[in-house]
Amino acid sequence: MTAVDVPARPLRIGLMLRAVDDVDGQGIYIRKLCEALFELDSQNQYVAYYWRPDQVGRFADHPNVREVVVPGRNKLTWDQVLVPLAARRDLLDVLFHHKFSIPLLAPCPTVVQQRGTEYWSHPEFYTGWSGRVDRLYSRFMIPLYCRRAVRVLTNSDTLGEELVRYVGVPRNKLRTVYASADRSFRSIADSAALAVVRARYGLPQEPFLLMVVKGHQVVGQASGRALTPRKNVALAIEGYGRMRARALADGLTPPDLVILGLGIAERLTPEVIAAHTDPGALHTPGFVEFRDMPALYSMARALVFPSRYESFGIPIVEAMACGCPVITATTSACPEVAGDAAILVDPDDVEGLASAMYRVSLDDDLAERLRRRGLRRAEGFSWVESARTLLSELEGAARQGQAAHASHPA
């Protein structure tokens, strides 16, 4: 990859980081991307905009990063009023937001990263009054954000094609900035270290099948016991129950299933689980600290990730980097990320998922082939290369703004 051209003077780059502490994939994405970006670029000047004082200090070790709190009562006001005012005050050359919105009246060029098109492709995800409002708002505003931004970034080529199809974004305005696995995601063989993590979360003896999900539905969009349909947990449990019954009938010992995520234990009660399998075979440890995830992947027989929609799917790469075989879906960006290193299953095919779990659980040769392929595949994703791509896009957008200003001075 060619080196990024450095402008004549350091740029003033603004980063909208109100979601930097989120625990989901979007939060992981922007934290790791910023860390790589600041390690890569010590020349340009960055302004990190937060909306809470407790967020300050995350990037304090970087002398070219200034952290600024822009307090706001709601996301809309923060995005569209307060941050643009701060950007004008700070004389920014370019402003970037990783979470689908951008100020429509920004005083400088903007670069926006889109997160997904499920508002068009999966309206069933958005139920109830709150869900319908969310979907209608996004379907109206996302095209405006994409038109207003100088560049539109995605985290997969699949998402880029969806934006062309559903939103009408020109292909030449798009650029993919992949996610990756953190450097800490490596296979762990230290039995003592694994035992500590197993005890911390009350995990069964390995090997076990692992699901990593966002366990709860969006507040206000479903009942308090509902699971988000995007992660396909209900079908996965049904498939696991079929796999377990088949293995026991064949005189084999199936692995247990671990489903981690916020809200999972409250929703997957023994009564719910018993409709499909033995509640004693399914474990719900809740939220797992990021630093402990490599150990879970290392202990798991396979990651089961039959998601109905992903714009990338970070757990796929994290699992592969740890030598954990992957079962994932044939839809959205999952095949693009997994390549030939996973078993792909239609997310509506419960019998196909059961068969995939049976095979990877009990066929050692298959598991080893998937492990080796996954390790190779994971090496193709790099936060450093993604940061290099982002930097190129930010500098290009800033140069475009500088050229326009030079042609039409105030």
Q: Over 80: is that where the pLDDT of 401 sits?
A: no
**Tokens 């399914």, located at residue:** 282
pLDDT at 50 over 90: yes
Q: Span 273-291, mean pLDDT?
A: 92
Does residue 73 register a pLDDT over 60?
A: yes
Residue found under tokens 């995005």? 79
For residues 126 and 58, the answer to whether their CB atoms sit within 8 Å is no
What are the structure tokens assigned to 193, written together? Answer: 């270290």
Which residues lie below 8 Å from residue 153, measured CB to CB, with a gap of 6+?
Answer: 111, 112, 113, 114, 174, 175, 176, 177, 390, 393
Q: Which residues pair with 16 in a beta bridge?
A: 49, 97
pLDDT at 206 over 90: no
Separation of alpha carbons 352 and 235, rounded Å:
11
- Chain centroid to CA 392: 22
Evaluate if residue 318 carries a pLDDT over 80. yes
Number of Cβ atoms within 10 Å of the Cβ of 161:
17
Average pLDDT value for the chain? 92
- Find the helix packing angle between 157-167 and 128-148, rounded to 10°: 100
CB 334 within 8 A of CB 138: no
Return the structure tokens found at 281: 């075979």
What 3-state class would DSSP assign to 205?
Answer: coil
Average pLDDT of 103-114?
97
A 10 A CB-CB count for 290 gives 15
pTM over 0.85: yes
Which tokens is 35 given? 């860390």
Question: Which helix H or strand E contains 33, and what residues bound it?
Answer: helix 25-40
pLDDT band, residue 8 (cuts 50/70/90): low
Looking at per-residue pLDDT, the higher value among 281 and 272 belongs to 281
Q: How far apart are CA 103 and CA 112, in angstroms?
A: 10
pLDDT confidence tier of residue 270, bands split at 50, 70 and 90 = confident
Q: 33-37, 68-72, 278-282, 406-410: which has the minimum mean pLDDT?
A: 406-410
Q: Among residues of the chain, what percentage have pLDDT more than 70? A: 92
The answer to whether 151 and 393 have CB atoms below 8 angstroms apart is yes
Quote the CA–CA distance of 248 and 237 in Å, as a whole number.
Answer: 16
Question: Across residues 56-75, what is the average pLDDT?
Answer: 94
Half-sphere exposure of 288 (CA within 13 A, CB side): 28
Quote the distance between the C-alpha of residue 121 and its chain's center. 18
Structure tokens that stand for 205 in this block: 């003896």
pLDDT at 188 over 90: yes
Contacts 24+ apart (CB under 8 A), 315-318: 315/25, 315/212, 316/342, 317/179, 317/180, 317/181, 317/377, 317/378, 317/381, 318/181, 318/182, 318/185, 318/293, 318/294
| pLDDT tens profile 216-228 | 433 333 445 567 7
Quote the CA–CA distance of 21 and 53 in Å, as a whole number: 12
Nearest to 155 by CA among 309, 333, 283: 333
Structure tokens at 83: 């941050």
Band (2; pLDDT cuts 50, 70, 90): very low
Farthest CA pair distance, the chain: 80
Mention every residue, 6+ apart, whose C-beta is less than 8 A from residue 319.
210, 297, 300, 303, 305, 325, 326, 374
pLDDT of res. 22 = 86
Q: What is the pLDDT of residue 221?
A: 38
Decide: residue 110, CB within 10 A, 0-12 exposed, 13-18 middle, 19+ buried: buried
Kindly list the distances between the CA atom of residue 84 and the CA atoms of 56, 71, 113, 141, 404, in Å, as whole numbers in the listed order. 20, 13, 17, 17, 19
Which two three-digit tokens encode residue 12? 């003033």
- Residue 170 burial by Cβ neighbours in a 10 Å radius (0-12, 13-18, 19+): exposed
Percent of the chain with pLDDT over 90: 82
**Res. 93: pLDDT tops 80:** yes
Give yes or no for a contact between 302 and 324, defined as CB atoms under 8 angstroms apart: yes
**pLDDT above 90 for 301:** yes
**232-234-236-241 Cα dihedral, nearest 10 degrees:** 180
